[in-house]
Structure formats: structure tokens, C-alpha cells
Amino acid sequence: GQSLEQPSEVTAVEGAIVQINCTYQTSGFYGLSWYQQHDGGAPTFLSYNALDGLEETGRFSSFLSRSDSYGYLLLQELQMKDSASYFCAVRGTGRRALTFGSGTRLQVQP
């Protein structure tokens, strides 16, 4: 089976940097994705890592270490609009369907 762990809540202030960690257990590994979901909204894709290292997309970066079964999402220059839930998701080998973590609720304070 597959399981993921991520913190349930994180609080940070505007302009700061926050890191949301995700550890996973999976039989085989294909890639790690991150999604953002605002209250009442649809999840939206943020990033995907299949190989070790850092992927940067604007203010957001995602990191993966396959040997540690660990990844993180880094949000820089936090804005109030970044207040949302963030989900990591893993796909095992054989292109199994995505398994999502329970989500991390990020609250950005002024």
C-alpha cells in the first residue's frame, strides 16, 4: 500500500518562507506531486518531482529525496492568498493511481 504523512497545520507571516514536509511509504515509486486547494475550491497542480533535487516554479519550489522517501514544498515571499491547504501525492510503480496525503493547512498572517 501507499501512505503519506504531512503536518496538519502550519502558520507563517506575510513575506516569510515556509516549508511543508511530506514523507511517504509506497511499494515502488514513480513521482511526488503537490496540489493547492483554497477553501471551497478545486485542487490545483503546483509541481511534480520524479528525480531527486529541487524544482523551482516562481515563488514555489519542490524538493525530492527518493532515498529518504521525503519531499517538501517551499513557499517564498508568502502572500495572504497563499493561505490554503497543500497536498502531497505519490504514484507508485505500475502507474498506480495517485495517493494523496491528508493535507497541510497553511495560514498566512499579516
Binding interface with other proteins (CB under 8 A): 8, 31, 33, 35, 41-45, 48, 50, 87, 89, 91, 95-103
> CB 110 → other proteins: shortest distance, Å?
26
Residue closer to other proteins by CB (options 8, 11) is: 8
Burial class of residue 51 in the structure, from the number of CB atoms within 10 Å of its CB (0-12 exposed, 13-18 middle, 19+ buried): exposed
**Closer Cβ to other proteins, 48 or 60, answer by number:** 48
17/66 with CB nearer other proteins:
66
Got the DSSP string for 28-43?
S--EEEEEEE-TTS--
Q: Are 10 and 73 in contact (CB under 8 A)?
A: no
In whole angstroms, the minimum distance from the beta carbon of 30 to other proteins comes to 9
8 A C-beta contact, residue 74 and residue 46 = no
> Shortest gap between Cβ of 27 and other proteins (angstroms)?
14
